[in-house]
């Protein structure tokens, strides 16, 4: 039987072998003057070098030097240079076992070390178990074990022993976590948990499988299905607080495993592990089902108002004939009045004679109806679909546990009234019922003066208000993850100060405002002088309007010719071969670890095929039919257990790391600048929640994939957005964790809030502004000092609002910097407040300062405008490649769940990154080839090239994974002339 392994080959090399890079060798093996003094006392060159090697290897990796063990040449040379002994002298030392033993004993004493003995095993397993509380991955477990043994001055045992100890520690950690999690669970609850894995004849599946099959399509039936599952989970009665007894990551591991493991597989687990996994899944399901219900409520309430709006539009269209008749009628009336004015006749007689009073009076009902239609409130048109609202709102209110701060008490009271009415069957709303609506007009509509409350309007308005309050976090759902209290997303107040120190701005309010005010005034003064002198390239002031000449593409003809020459030299390659070669270079497939054990897949072809099935939109079944060496069952298992979002991110990061390290990629940038843009993909579904309609992209529903791209063409982040959502909240999501630098977006990504947070977090936000006339410059102070700028200035910055909310601004920025919350989550919640939230206002004011400073940069620097355009052009090239790769099913994303849509996007992004890396490698070889033949390929032209070409890549056809195995090395470049003679 094969030995169970805990580590991958790369991890073993990293942890157990001496380093071989210059930096690491210098870090670990530089000898101190005291070391050299001691070594100098050894007799003879061989003894000096041999003792130095033993000393070095005892310190790192920590095993010492075993007889017959080869010392890496780079390590040996580094040590021999320090002791001034030729490396060849080590061979003489190796023939003297007594001397080696004597030196080892002396070094043990000198360095305070001792051997690992059998009695250390129990303690070592405990150390590994502590590390394994948070992870099942072998690398971190063994790394923590090694670090603790070194700290205790224990020479490391053999690598096999370390792995066995790590496995034992992981097993102990799993067992202890399961025991801790199950300790509060009663026997009756355990019986119900066990029954979840038994096949139910009515459901035709296990109860656990039914619970995990959450309806996605927005409908009353789906809402009932979700709440039925939620009630089932709650009836088991597991307290979510029991998760505090184990590490958060261990709980997440149980929950992730429980989300994909089929009942038959869970049945094969040990009793403790099986029950712990199911318990974690139930706790996770309770929050997930709550989120799913709230998401569906949000969509369905929004749909009521959208359908009401479309209904009004249809009425407008249907009334066009009546409007035309009335317009002609009043044209006649105006003509009669004018004629009476000219000839001095009686106006009323003239109207009666020329038009007819009976026609004017007969038109009044039509006029009243059209007037009512024109001023009809969206609430009224939404309430016309009250029957549809009643099919899902009572169910939602019955099963959700709402909470709110003091300001939300009226809404909670209104929800309680509706619940009571639903239970009792009564129809009348009490006269003293609260009206928790932000709009005064809604209050007047719902409760006319002197009249009773309109039930239809009241319930519709309460539902719409609840949706808005849930979005903003003013009202939250108990047990939800996506609809928590606003403050719960932020760092605790006592942790803000330490994290705020890492922000790249002065967080002392007075100093910050003084510095920005001085800078803003200085920049406005310089800009006004240059504008008056007409000293701005491409910028002119015509009357009160500022005109900016659009930036044109600046790629010279020579660059386009060079691009064609290089493309012609790129080897022709199948996508299977390309992925194999990139994997051989980067090892990205090893980043896809099994969800349970963290082990690497034993058949990398399955990983590559499953990723490509996502990337090309082919799907698993058709990929299996078109593939050699993989089956559908293998691909389905691989997708469930290996293709998680976490693993996709790790694999992508590995490819991007290697890509950015390529010398040729430096022609395009240094990796600090980046751009982001959304790309629309049709869904082809008008029902089922697969996509939404955005008129910008035509009448078909769809969604957008929003991607971040480095200036070196590394596609390093992606996420799925609805077709109708704003891109602005998501700009920062892909930047957190990266170094600061310029980030380019189109106008859709530019809001004052994004300007503010980018500045506070150390990024230079550079959107392409197309609506300068609508974005006024801001000043700090009541009166402008620069007359020429008056037409361009908006209202002054409200410094008082910033001062009042400065601590909250810093807390928000620190929370995002610490990774406590995603920027998009907070920006969407701030934008959801119907009445402007004070933090929202203050952040916008900070953003107005930064937007003004940026606008001045934009107007003064044509180089900045060109850099922005070039960055966005790189995103456009990436979009073109994405369309070419995502070729199957007419490029439509038919997946209905966000989870599956995100898998498509992640697979597509990974394959694009692999193609870009492969192209970069061969573009460098092609340029070297051209230069050898004295073809001009100067560096300044290479900056205009892109590695996003695909004409040479075979993206479709049969996927022959076995044949794609490569022997290593580079392919020969393509001979353009050979295509005339190549067999078809």
Q: What tokens does 661 get?
A: 């390290």
Give me the percent of the chain exceeding a pLDDT of 90: 66
The H or E element spanning position 585 is: helix 575-586
Query: Distance (Å, rounded) from C-alpha 65 to C-alpha 59?
Result: 11
Q: Is the pLDDT of residue 131 over 60?
A: yes
Look at 27-31, 191-195, 257-261, 652-656 and tell me which has the smallest mean pLDDT.
257-261
Do residues 332 and 417 share a domain?
no
As a whole number of angstroms, the distance between CA 391 and CA 365 comes to 35
Domain membership flag for residue 390: yes
* 575 contacts 957 by C-beta, under 8 angstroms: no
Could you tell me if 158 and 18 lie in one domain? yes
pLDDT in tens, 366-407: 776 666 655 567 898 899 999 999 999 999 999 999 999 878
Which among 153, 179, 205 is the end of a domain? 179
Binning pLDDT at 50, 70 and 90, where does residue 557 land?
confident
259: Cα within 13 Å, side-chain hemisphere: 20
Helix, strand or coil, per DSSP, at residue 462? helix
* pLDDT for the residue 616: 95
Whether 972 is covered by a domain: the verdict is no
Same domain, 373 and 450: no
CB 924 within 8 A of CB 663: yes
Domain boundary among 128, 148, 179: 179
Same domain as 165, residue 36: yes
Per-residue tokens: 259:
């989300």
In the structure encoding, which two tokens stand for residue 614, read together?
């996502």
Give the pLDDT confidence score for residue 866 in this predicted structure: 92
Q: Are residues 43 and 170 in the same domain?
A: yes
Per-residue pLDDT tens over the stretch 902-928:
999 999 999 999 999 999 999 999 999
Decide if 893 contacts 617 (C-beta within 8 A): yes
Compute the average pLDDT of residues 5-28: 89
Residue 952 domain flag: no
Q: What single DSSP character describes residue 775?
A: S
In a domain, 688, yes or no: no
Going by C-alpha positions, the residue among 680, 669, 740, 670 that lies closest to residue 707 is: 680
Q: How confident is the model at residue 834 (pLDDT cuts 50, 70, 90)?
A: low
For 943, residues 6+ apart whose C-beta sits below 8 A from its C-beta are: 667, 668
Q: To which H or E segment does residue 675 belong?
A: strand 674-682
pLDDT at position 368, please?
66
Task: State the pLDDT confidence band at 2, using cuts at 50, 70 and 90.
Answer: very low
DSSP SS3 for 876: helix
DSSP character at residue 241: G
In this prediction, residue 160 carries a pLDDT of: 94
Q: Are 103 and 50 in contact (CB under 8 A)?
A: yes
Q: Are residues 70 and 157 in the same domain?
A: yes
Confidence of residue 835 (pLDDT cuts 50, 70, 90): low
Secondary structure letter of residue 782 according to DSSP: S
∠581-582-585 over CA atoms, to 5°? 90
| 87-96 contacts, C-beta under 8 A, 24 or more apart | 87/49, 89/45, 89/46, 89/49, 90/46, 90/49, 90/50, 90/53, 92/46, 93/46, 93/47, 93/49, 93/50, 94/50, 94/67, 96/46, 96/50
Q: Give the pLDDT of residue 94.
A: 66
Using DSSP's 3-state secondary structure scheme, residue 599 falls into coil
Distance separating alpha carbons of residues 511 and 380, to the nearest angstrom: 51
State whether 43 and 155 are in the same domain. Answer: yes
Taking a C-beta distance cutoff of 8 angstroms, is the pair 301, 463 a contact?
Answer: yes
**Tokens, residue 275:** 């029950």
Count of the separate structural domains present in the chain: 3
pLDDT top residue among 160 and 773: 160
Whether 337 and 411 have beta carbons less than 8 Å apart is answered as no
> Same domain for 363 and 441?
no
Is residue 365 domain-shared with residue 438, that is, in the same domain?
Answer: no
Q: Do 326 and 400 belong to one domain?
A: no
Last residue of a domain, one of 439, 463, 485: 485
Q: Which phi-psi region, left, alpha or beta, contains residue 29 (left: φ > 0; alpha: ψ -120 to 50)?
A: alpha
The stretch 317-340 carries a mean pLDDT of 76
Number of residues that this document lists for the chain: 984
Q: Read off the pTM.
A: 0.85
Q: What is the pLDDT of residues 134-178, one digit of tens each?
A: 888 889 999 999 999 999 999 999 999 999 999 999 999 999 999
Is the pLDDT reported for residue 983 higher than 50? no
Residues 408-417 have a mean pLDDT of 94
Residues 628-648: b if buried by 16+ CB within 10 A, e if exposed: ebbeeebbebbbebbbbeebb
d(CA 387, CA 300) in angstroms, rounded, equals 13
From the CB of residue 407, how many other CB atoms can be counted at a distance below 10 Å? 11
> What would the DSSP string read from start to end of 899-968?
HHHHHHHHHHHHHHHHHHHHHHHHHHHHHHHHHHTT----HHHHTT--S---TTEE-SS-EETTTT---S
What confidence category does residue 597 fall into, taking pLDDT thresholds of 50, 70 and 90?
A: confident
For the chain, count helices (H), then strands (E). Answer: 41, 16
**Cα–Cα dist 519/147, whole Å:** 49
Residues 389 and 373 in one domain: no
| % residues pLDDT > 70 (the chain) | 94
Model pLDDT, residue 407:
83
Residue 83 included in any domain: yes
Domain membership of residue 362 (yes or no) is yes
Q: For residues 284 and 274, what is the distance between their CA atoms, to the nearest angstrom?
A: 15
pLDDT at 374: 58
User: DSSP letter at 408?
Assistant: G
**Looking at the DSSP assignment, which residues form a beta bridge with residue 336?**
none
Residue of 670, 620, 664 whose CA lies nearest to 642: 620
Domain contains 29: yes
Q: What is the pLDDT of residue 366?
A: 74
Is 762 within the bounds of a domain? no
Neighbours of 412 (CB within 10 A): 17
**Cβ burial 814-851 (10 Å sphere, 16+ → b, else e):** bbbbbebbbbbbbbbbbbbbeeebebbbbbbbbbbbbb
Q: Are 829 and 473 in contact (CB under 8 A)?
A: yes
Per DSSP, the three-state class of 496 is: helix
39 with 96, same domain: the answer is yes
Domain that holds residue 407: 382-485
């Amino acid at each position: 039987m094969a030995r169970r392994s805990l580590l991958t080959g790369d991890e073993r090399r990293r942890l157990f072998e001496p380093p071989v890079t210059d930096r690491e060798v210098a870090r670990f093996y530089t000898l101190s003057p005291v070391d050299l003094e001691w070594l100098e006392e050894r007799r003879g060159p061989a003894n000096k070098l041999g003792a130095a090697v033993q000393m070095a290897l005892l310190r790192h990796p920590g095993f010492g030097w075993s007889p017959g063990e080869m010392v890496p040449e780079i390590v040996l040379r580094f040590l021999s240079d320090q002791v001034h002994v030729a490396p060849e002298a080590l061979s003489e030392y190796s023939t003297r076992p007594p001397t080696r033993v004597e030196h080892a004993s002396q070094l043990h004493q000198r360095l305070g070390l001792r051997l690992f003995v059998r009695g250390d095993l129990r303690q070592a397993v405990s150390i590994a178990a502590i590390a394994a509380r948070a992870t099942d991955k072998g690398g971190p477990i063994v790394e923590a074990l090694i670090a603790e043994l070194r700290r205790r001055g224990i020479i490391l045992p053999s690598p096999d022993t370390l792995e066995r100890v790590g496995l034992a520690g992981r097993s102990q950690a799993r067992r202890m976590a399961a025991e801790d999690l199950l300790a509060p669970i009663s026997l009756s609850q355990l019986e119900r948990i066990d029954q979840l894995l038994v096949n139910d004849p009515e459901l035709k599946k296990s109860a656990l499988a039914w619970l995990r099959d959450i309806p996605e399509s927005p409908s009353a039936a789906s809402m009932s299905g979700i709440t039925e599952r939620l009630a089932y989970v709650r009836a088991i009665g597991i307290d979510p607080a029991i998760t505090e007894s184990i590490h958060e990551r261990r709980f997440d591991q149980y929950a992730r495993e429980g989300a994909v493991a089929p009942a038959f597989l869970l049945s094969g687990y040990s009793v403790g592990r099986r029950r712990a996994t199911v318990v974690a899944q139930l706790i996770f399901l309770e929050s997930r089902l709550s989120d799913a219900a709230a998401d569906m409520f949000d969509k369905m309430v929004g749909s009521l108002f959208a359908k009401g709006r479309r209904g009004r539009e249809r009425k407008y269209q249907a009334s066009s004939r009546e409007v035309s008749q009335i317009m002609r009628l009043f044209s006649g009336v105006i003509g009669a009045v004018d004629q009476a004015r000219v000839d001095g006749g009686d106006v009323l007689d003239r109207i009666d004679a020329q038009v007819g009073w009976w026609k004017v009076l007969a038109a009044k009902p039509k006029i009243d109806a059209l007037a009512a239609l024109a001023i009809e409130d969206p609430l009224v048109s939404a309430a016309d679909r009250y029957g549809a609202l009643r099919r899902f709102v009572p169910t939602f209110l019955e099963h959700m546990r709402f909470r709110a701060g003091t300001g939300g008490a009226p809404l909670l009271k209104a929800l309680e009234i509706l619940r009571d009415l639903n239970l009792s069957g009564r129809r009348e709303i009490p006269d003293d019922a609260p009206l928790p609506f932000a709009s005064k007009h809604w209050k007047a509509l719902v409760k006319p003066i002197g009249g009773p409350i309109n039930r239809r309007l009241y319930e519709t308005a309460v539902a719409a208000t609840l949706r808005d309050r849930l979005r903003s976090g003013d009202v939250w759902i108990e047990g939800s993850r996506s609809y928590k209290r606003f403050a719960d997303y932020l760092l605790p107040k006592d942790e803000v100060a330490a994290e705020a120190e890492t922000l790249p701005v002065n967080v002392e309010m007075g100093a910050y405002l003084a510095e920005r005010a001085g800078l803003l005034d200085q920049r406005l003064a310089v800009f006004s002088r240059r504008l008056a002198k007409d000293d701005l390239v491409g910028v002119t002031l015509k009357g009160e309007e500022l005109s900016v000449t659009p930036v044109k593409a600046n790629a010279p003809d020579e660059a386009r010719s060079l691009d064609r020459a290089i493309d012609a030299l790129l080897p022709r390659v199948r996508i299977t071969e390309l992925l194999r070669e990139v994997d051989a270079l980067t090892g990205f497939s090893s980043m896809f670890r099994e969800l349970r054990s963290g082990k690497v897949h034993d058949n990398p072809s399955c990983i590559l095929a499953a990723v490509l099935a996502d990337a090309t939109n082919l799907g698993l079944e058709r990929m299996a039919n078109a593939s050699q060496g993989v089956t559908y069952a293998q691909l389905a298992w691989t997708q469930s257990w290996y293709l998680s979002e976490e693993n996709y991110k790790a694999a992508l990061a590995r490819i991007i790391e290697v890509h950015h390290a390529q010398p040729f990629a430096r022609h395009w940038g240094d990796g600090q600048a980046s751009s982001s843009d959304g790309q629309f993909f049709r869904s082809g579904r008008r029902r089922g929640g697969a996509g939404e309609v955005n008129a910008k992209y035509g009448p078909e529903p769809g969604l957008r994939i929003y991607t971040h791209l480095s200036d070196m063409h590394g596609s390093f982040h992606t996420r799925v957005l609805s077709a109708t959502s704003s891109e602005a909240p998501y700009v920062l999501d892909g930047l957190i964790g990266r170094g600061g630098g310029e980030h380019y977006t189109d106008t859709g990504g530019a809001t004052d809030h994004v300007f503010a947070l980018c500045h506070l977090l150390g990024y230079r936000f550079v959107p392409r502004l197309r609506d300068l006339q609508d974005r006024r410059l801001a000043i700090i102070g009541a009166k402008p000092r620069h007359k020429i700028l008056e037409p361009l200035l908006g209202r002054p910055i409200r410094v008082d609002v910033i001062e009042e909310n400065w601590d909250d601004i810093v807390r928000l920025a620190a929370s995002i910097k610490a990774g406590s919350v995603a920027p998009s989550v907070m920006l969407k919640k701030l934008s959801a407040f119907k009445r402007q939230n004070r933090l929202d206002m203050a952040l916008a004011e900070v953003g107005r300062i930064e937007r003004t400073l940026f606008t001045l940069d934009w107007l003064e620097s044509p180089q900045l405008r060109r850099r922005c355009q070039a960055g966005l052009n790189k995103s456009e090239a990436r979009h073109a490649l994405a369309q070419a790769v995502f070729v199957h099913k007419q490029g439509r994303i038919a997946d209905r769940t966000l989870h599956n849509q995100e898998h498509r996007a992640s697979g597509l992004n990974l394959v694009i990154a692999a193609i870009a890396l492969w192209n970069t490698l061969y573009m460098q070889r092609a340029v070297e080839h051209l230069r050898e033949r004295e073809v001009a390929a100067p560096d300044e032209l290479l900056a205009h090239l892109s590695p996003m070409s695909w004409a040479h890549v075979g993206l479709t056809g049969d996927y022959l994974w076995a044949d794609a195995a490569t022997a290593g090395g580079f392919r020969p470049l393509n001979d353009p002339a050979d295509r005339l003679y190549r067999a078809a």
